[in-house]
A and B are shown apart, each in its own frame.
Chain A
Amino acid sequence: MFSLDLLLEALLFGVLLGCFYAAVSIGLSVSFGLLDVPNVAHPAIMVLGSYCTWLLSARTGLDPLLAGGLLMPAFFLLGVLIYRFYYETFEKRGSEAGVRGLAFFFGLTFIVEVGLILAFGVDQRSVEAGYIGRSFSLGDYRIPMRMGVAFAVALLLTFSLSVYLSKTFTGRAIKAVAQDEPALRLMGANPVRIKQWAFGIATGVSALAGAMLIIVSPVEPAMDRLYIGRTFCVVVLAGLGSMTGTLAAGLILGIVESVVLMQFGASWAPAVAFGLLLIVLGIRPQGLFGR
């Protein structure tokens, strides 16, 4: 049953998977981790990104990654609109932490999900590209090239977002709004505009994450439900809003999931992310790299 060779393979695959999980969670790490918006709809928006990528790449023959990149400005605008709406209806009245803000995003999740079902049906959708379906070898192991591509993009995405947040003026302003909003207000900055911008970025990144999602595996509308567990697990485990933490947490989830998959079979895999999430919430809700 247990062999070192299998374990090594699980580890290797877990690292690839983990980077991918970090990349799909990074948008949530900004919107929920930094801005404290209970954005349960993040996975649903990501799946929406997958479907838009699929449409765009099937219609024009564009590479799915490029299609995802081209969708980012549109999703940025979508994010700005969602935040604006959320701010006007909930945050401004001070009721965001309660039942209503959560119910709003939960309802939004279902609207997106069922909207996709009504528009495209419940069938799985996938994209085509040169690197999908091929594999390359690393030492003794064969690695599907789609995982390699997702791995590279994930690293790039995490790295650039982390640099953006710590090195640029707006990036630092976003971090400042997370740390001390009243102080920022006192200094004459407008926290709402900064949060709106940051939420836009978080949603824009989801378009690219959606493209990666459909590259890694076929996508169906109800897929966001599983990713509620994965993305929140990564963000909470990371400690809210920590970008390097997000990468580390993604790796932990990827490796644990991959080992469980290999040892106990696929039927146990969905419980891994949710189980890990529960453990973290129960033992250390501030996460590994909490702010």
Chain B
Amino acid sequence: MSRMKFWIGSAVALILGVGLPFAPINEYVFYAGYMVLTFVVMATAWNILGGYAGYVNFGPPAFFGIGSYAAVVLFKSLNAPLAVQIAGAALMGGLLGLGVGLLTLRLRGIFFAIATVAIVFIMETLMVNWRYVGGATGLQLLRPPVELYASYTRMLFAVMAAMSVAAVALARYIQTSWLGRGLRALRDSEEAAESAGVPTLKLKLFACAVSGALMGAAGAPMPMYLSFIEPPSTFDLNYTVGSLGGAIIGGVGHWAGPIVGAILLGTLQQVVTVTISSEMNVLVVGVLLVVFVVAAPEGVLGLFKKAFKK
């Protein structure tokens, strides 16, 4: 029954996400909503590796960024449509995830986390030195004419909404299947899981690749959203706080956590950016992250559970 509910909910969310941009609502709503939905995908992707398997990934900007740059390369060289760009970005993100997983096989905890930070800066340096994609100065991009929707931003909102539903469905599938049980087992004790016959190595690589692919896909429409790409803002560690913050504030380990967290956090960020300043929005996320980690380690979901039990 609960599976039925989930699919009905997903279908409603999908119809809303794709249909809403047709409504005569202020353009800014979609402009801001796009960023919130991006963080839904990013936090969901982070949760697959960080929440289910317990590997703390500080490198979401690396996967997000490689997705953005893959999209730009496909667009510039082949004039590829957005769907192809997203597919290419997901592929590159997944490959990078697999590579990171292979490189860090023996690493856990902070060592894994620091290795993922290193990937971010190495990717950024590579892109700074790659002329074809604009190097350090970046690249202006001309959006192709938009079909169906009234504006490009509305179309991107619909695309990101569809991607969010897909990401959440995938995360839920992983969580409820044997994959999720295996990942949880390796989070609690890798040795115990291995000796009980759980293929820990394969599962870890799988989680790295899926998480990376989703983040790559989330990054693909970003250059078109901004009509511009440059390394520093693409590989900004603020994406790390957003993804990790969304998952932790919502509640790690459950597919619904990142949705709740990312929507709360993303909306708050947009409001703070508009009313106060964009620096302040990073501060708000940092403070919320620390407050939740200290006072409500199970996140918003945990708080709800507690409230209902009483």
Contact = CB atoms under 8 A, between A and B. Distances in A.
Interface in A40-80: 40
Given A107-B290, A229-B121, A38 B283 contact: no
Given A99-B50, A228-B114, A278-B118, A104 B290 contact: yes
Interface in A73-117: 89, 95, 97-100, 102-104, 106-111, 113-115, 117
Interface residues of A, number: 40
Given A106-B58, A114-B283, A274-B121, A232 B114 contact: yes
Interface in B98-150: 103-104, 106-107, 109-111, 113-115, 117-119, 121-122, 124-126, 128-129, 136
Interface string B267-286: 00000000000011011011
A211 to B, nearest CB: 25
Contacts of A278: 103, 115, 118-119, 122
A42 to B, nearest CB: 11
A109 B286 CA distance: 8
A103 B289 contact: yes
Contact of B283 (A102, A118, A270, A282): A118
A270 to B, nearest CB: 5
Given A228-B114, A274-B122, A278-B119, A95 B109 contact: no
Given A99-B54, A118-B279, A268 B115 contact: no
Contacts of A285: 106-107, 111
A275 interface: yes
B248 interface: yes
B293 A229 contact: no
A108 B290 contact: yes
B287 A282 contact: no
Contacts of B104: 281-282
A133 B203 CA distance: 55
A267 B282 contact: no
B290 A274 contact: no
Nearest to A109: B286
A99 B118 contact: no
A109 B252 CA distance: 21
Contacts of B107: 281, 285
Interface in A252-289: 267-268, 270-271, 274-275, 277-278, 281-282, 285
Interface residues of B, number: 45
Contacts of B114: 40, 228, 232, 236, 277, 281
Interface string B236-262: 010011001100100010000000000
B56 interface: yes
A113 B241 CA distance: 13
Contacts of A107: 241, 245, 286-287, 289-290, 293
B199 interface: no
Interface in A205-235: 225-226, 228-229, 232
A104 B241 CA distance: 11
Given A98-B54, A274-B117, A106 B240 contact: yes
Contacts of A32: 110
A52 B110 CA distance: 29
Contact of B110 (A102, A113, A115): A102
A40 B289 CA distance: 15
B126 A95 contact: no
Contact of B252 (A99, A102, A113, A118): A99
B294 interface: yes
Contacts of B286: 107-111, 114
A215 B129 CA distance: 29
Nearest to B249: A103
A106 B244 contact: yes
B297 interface: yes
Nearest to A104: B293
B129 A106 contact: no
Given A270-B125, A271-B126, A102 B290 contact: no
B297 A95 contact: yes
A80 B122 CA distance: 34
Given A103-B56, A106-B244, A229-B121, A277 B115 contact: yes
Given A229-B118, A278-B119, A103 B103 contact: no
A114 B125 contact: no
B252 A110 contact: no
- Residue picked from B111, B237, B293, most chain A C-beta under 10 Å: B293
Contact of B294 (A104, A115, A267): A104
A102 B57 CA distance: 10
A27 B282 CA distance: 27
A40 B124 CA distance: 20
19 contacts: A38-B109, A89-B294, A98-B109, A103-B244, A103-B290, A104-B294, A106-B240, A107-B286, A107-B289, A107-B293, A109-B286, A114-B286, A118-B280, A270-B124, A271-B126, A275-B118, A281-B115, A285-B107, A285-B111
Given A100-B297, A114-B282, 8 more contacts: A38-B109, A99-B54, A106-B241, A107-B289, A267-B129, A274-B119, A275-B122, A285-B111
Nearest 8 pairs of A and B residues by beta carbon: A110-B286, A271-B125, A274-B118, A107-B289, A107-B290, A38-B110, A114-B283, A274-B121
